[in-house]
A and B are shown apart, each in its own frame.
Chain A
Amino acid sequence: MSGLVKRYGAKPAVDGASFSAAAGAVTAVLGLNGAGKTSTIECCEGLRRPDGGTVRVLGRDPIADGAWLRPRVGVMLQDGGMPQAARAGDVLDLAAAMYARPLERKELVATLDLGSRLRTPVRRLSGGERQRLALAVALVGRPDVAFLDEPTAGLDPQARLVVWELIAQLRRSGVAVVLTTHLLDEAERLADHVVLMAAGRVVAAGTPGELTGGSDRTLSFDGPAGLDLAPLAPLLSAGIAATEVRPGHYVIANRTPEAHLLPGDVAATTAWCARLGIMPEGLVLGRRSLEDVFLEIAARQSGATQVIGVVGA
């Protein structure tokens, strides 16, 4: 997919986004609400006609080659797309009837723990059950590519683990899985490739390791919101920046691949806190998480939170 543009009215929802997803890998499209994730996925599914750029799925155009692609692509929509009055089992049977070699209903249902709910109308399923039914519908045709829009939204932790395991199994089977999520731990845990979107653009992409800087250390702590970080900047070593990624949560991390957090940076930060009379609650020296990266980028995009002390970035 390259240079994708999708407009609703004058405002572009997707503004020149490009990425690719490999077979046998999970690609996670991350972003805040309104970042353009769903519009992007819907262009890939052939549900929306792009206003610009090129989308290819399995080498084909989602709209012109829709008839060829539809049996090969499994789709889970964000809103589910389930008829409310129909029984869950009937919906699954309907989806299965569209394919020459659908999955065995019994096994799929057992895997997703829907066995006891097949005679229940969709509207009386819980949110999590509806999600799992939508996932079953997406996978029943044994697709080569699966587009899953927020597959674990509204799931309890146990159900989420089941879905994660199923997605991992899809990857092992050679399926190209493209999912959207705003759960960063989900992306970090599942994805081989992460695409970070903001305001309709891809702002960062790579493996979770590449995005988080692999083994780079970070320092984070909680304190009063809105601390003036300007006096701290000159105390840190070159390439190290302090960021208030969300109100009251501060991250000290490198801004360039060459820079590394040094013991002196830890000392400087705690000393600075001590001078201000602030207790750095939850002070943690650790690896940068995808959440840190995401929040830093989101903070830079919105300009709402302060980023101070960027040297060489």
Chain B
Amino acid sequence: MSALELTVPATTRAEGEQERAAAPVRRILAQTRFDAMAMLRNGEQLLLTVILPLFVLAGLARSGVVDLGEGRRIDLATPGVLALALISTAFTGQAISTGFDRRAGLLRLLGTTPLGRSGLIAGRLGAVAVVSAIQVVLLGAVGLALGWQPQLAGLLPAVLVGVLGSAAFVSLGLLLAGTLRAEAVLAAANVIWVLLLAGGGVVLAADQLGPFGDFVRWLPSGALGDGLRVALTGGSWPWLDLLVLAAWTAAGTLATMRWFRWDS
């Protein structure tokens, strides 16, 4: 036991803030790594973020049961499945893990370490970005293997749509996680995922949903799905969808800052 140097030597104590805490970047990267590993190790999360989107992609590309609209099926299916995968990670995954971490007291505990609350949020956003990148590479590769031909001119607008869409869904996921009980978060996040898959304009364009589509295109899910489809099939900038996603991100962030509770 005598080997344990429990305190910082007095000489270094005087050196100030930077000397006691690790550098902010290092703290945030540690949290990012921890959260990303947690997401990738969790079987249920993997099912939602990778396996089910792969099934949806294969199903939409191979069978003609669902009408995807004008154009090659794989070109319409892949952007929609990418949107679905982003929602899985940014919304459902974040909501559930944050909800349970909040109940376990982890959010409070990390709030007392040098990481702080802002560092915790930054780390989690980093983890969402890492996992989303892995999803896009994986699903994109499968799409390409199935014959997907994205418009290269649409890649930049698509990335922007993806980032804004993820931001909007993270803010909404955290809002859910910070206001409801963990079990309610689990149920709501999964139900919303299924509803968005079925009729949220994610894999099926809002145009294909009849009169309902005029409502769906203003949802973050509709804007994300349509935005990716417009960018990657037409190679153009989906300005309206970007605007809708920016508005949802702003609203979701403000609501989360207002109502998120760190303890349960």
| Stretch from A66-74, A188-196, A218-226 contacting the other chain | A66-74
Q: Report, nearest first, the 7 A-B pairs whose CB atoms are least far apart.
A: A81-B109, A97-B30, A81-B105, A71-B20, A71-B21, A75-B112, A79-B105
Shortest Cβ distance from residue A149 to the other chain B in the assembled complex, whole angstroms: 11
Interface string of A214-238 (1 = CB under 8 A from B): 0000000000000000000000000
Shortest Cβ distance from residue A239 to the other chain B in the assembled complex, whole angstroms: 45
Are the C-beta atoms of A67 and B22 separated by less than 8 Å? no
Chain A residues with Cβ under 8 A from B34's Cβ?
86, 90, 94
A-B residue pairs in contact (CB < 8 Å), sample of 29: A45-B112, A46-B111, A46-B112, A71-B17, A77-B105, A77-B108, A81-B104, A81-B105, A81-B108, A81-B109, A83-B101, A84-B100, A84-B104, A85-B42, A86-B34, A97-B30, A98-B22, A100-B22, A101-B20, A103-B5, A107-B4, A111-B1, A137-B109, A141-B114, A142-B7, A143-B7, A165-B1, A173-B6, A174-B7
Whether B38 sits at the interface, judged by CB under 8 Å, is yes
**Chain B residue with the shortest CB-CB distance to A170:** B6
Whether A21 sits at the interface, judged by CB under 8 Å, is no
Chain A residues with Cβ under 8 A from B263's Cβ?
47
| Residue in B4, B21, B31 whose beta carbon sits within 8 Å of that of A169 in the complex | B4
Shortest Cβ distance from residue B118 to the other chain A in the assembled complex, whole angstroms: 10
- Complex-state Cα separation, A173 to B4, whole angstroms: 10
Chain B residues with Cβ under 8 A from A169's Cβ?
1, 4, 6
**Chain B residue with the shortest CB-CB distance to A48:** B263
Chain B residues with Cβ under 8 A from A85's Cβ?
38, 41-42
Shortest Cβ distance from residue A42 to the other chain B in the assembled complex, whole angstroms: 8
- Complex-state Cα separation, A103 to B4, whole angstroms: 8
**Chain B residue with the shortest CB-CB distance to A108:** B4
Whether A19 sits at the interface, judged by CB under 8 Å, is no
* B interface majority secondary structure: helix
Are the C-beta atoms of B41 and A81 separated by less than 8 Å? no
Shortest Cβ distance from residue A159 to the other chain B in the assembled complex, whole angstroms: 15
A100 and B21 in contact (CB under 8 A), knowing A47-B112, A137-B109? yes
Are the C-beta atoms of B30 and A94 separated by less than 8 Å? yes
Interface residues in chain A, defined as those with a beta carbon under 8 Å from any beta carbon in chain B: 45-47, 66-68, 70-73, 75, 77, 79-86, 90, 93-95, 97-101, 103-104, 107-108, 111, 137, 139, 141-144, 165-166, 169-170, 173-175
Besides the known contacts A83-B38, A83-B106, 20 further A-B residue pairs in the complex with CB atoms under 8 A apart: A46-B111, A70-B116, A71-B20, A71-B114, A81-B109, A82-B105, A84-B104, A85-B42, A86-B38, A93-B30, A97-B26, A97-B27, A98-B114, A99-B22, A101-B8, A101-B20, A141-B114, A165-B1, A169-B4, A169-B6
Shortest Cβ distance from residue B247 to the other chain A in the assembled complex, whole angstroms: 32
A175 and B6 in contact (CB under 8 A), knowing A70-B21, A70-B116, A98-B22? yes
Whether B115 sits at the interface, judged by CB under 8 Å, is yes
| Residue in B13, B17, B38, B109 whose beta carbon sits within 8 Å of that of A67 in the complex | B17
Whether B19 sits at the interface, judged by CB under 8 Å, is yes
Are the C-beta atoms of B6 and A47 separated by less than 8 Å? no
Chain B residues with Cβ under 8 A from A95's Cβ?
113
Interface residues in chain B, defined as those with a beta carbon under 8 Å from any beta carbon in chain A: 1, 3-8, 12-13, 17-22, 26-27, 30-31, 34, 37-38, 41-42, 100-101, 104-106, 108-116, 262-263
- Complex-state Cα separation, A169 to B6, whole angstroms: 8
Shortest Cβ distance from residue B125 to the other chain A in the assembled complex, whole angstroms: 17
Chain A residues with Cβ under 8 A from B6's Cβ?
103, 139, 142, 169-170, 173, 175
In the complex, number of A-B residue pairs with CB atoms less than 8 Å apart: 122
Chain B residues with Cβ under 8 A from A170's Cβ?
6
Are the C-beta atoms of B20 and A99 separated by less than 8 Å? yes
**Chain B residue with the shortest CB-CB distance to A90:** B34
**Chain A residue with the shortest CB-CB distance to B101:** A83
Chain A residues with Cβ under 8 A from B41's Cβ?
85
Q: Which of B4, B26, B108, B116 has the most CB of A within 10 A?
A: B4
Chain B residues with Cβ under 8 A from A45's Cβ?
112
Shortest Cβ distance from residue A135 to the other chain B in the assembled complex, whole angstroms: 12
Are the C-beta atoms of A80 and B21 separated by less than 8 Å? no
Shortest Cβ distance from residue B185 to the other chain A in the assembled complex, whole angstroms: 15
Q: Which of A47, A66, A98, A139 has the most CB of B within 10 A?
A: A98
**Chain A residue with the shortest CB-CB distance to B263:** A47
Shortest Cβ distance from residue A118 to the other chain B in the assembled complex, whole angstroms: 15
Shortest Cβ distance from residue B30 to the other chain A in the assembled complex, whole angstroms: 3
Chain A residues with Cβ under 8 A from B8's Cβ?
101, 142, 144
Chain B residues with Cβ under 8 A from A72's Cβ?
20
Are the C-beta atoms of A83 and B21 separated by less than 8 Å? no
Chain B residues with Cβ under 8 A from A70's Cβ?
21, 112-116
| Residue in A46, A84, A93, A98 whose beta carbon sits within 8 Å of that of B21 in the complex | A98
Chain B residues with Cβ under 8 A from A107's Cβ?
3-4
Shortest Cβ distance from residue A173 to the other chain B in the assembled complex, whole angstroms: 4
- Complex-state Cα separation, A97 to B32, whole angstroms: 12
Shortest Cβ distance from residue B35 to the other chain A in the assembled complex, whole angstroms: 9
Are the C-beta atoms of B1 and A47 separated by less than 8 Å? no
- Complex-state Cα separation, A174 to B100, whole angstroms: 36
- Complex-state Cα separation, A72 to B114, whole angstroms: 9
**Chain B residue with the shortest CB-CB distance to A76:** B109
Shortest Cβ distance from residue A128 to the other chain B in the assembled complex, whole angstroms: 18
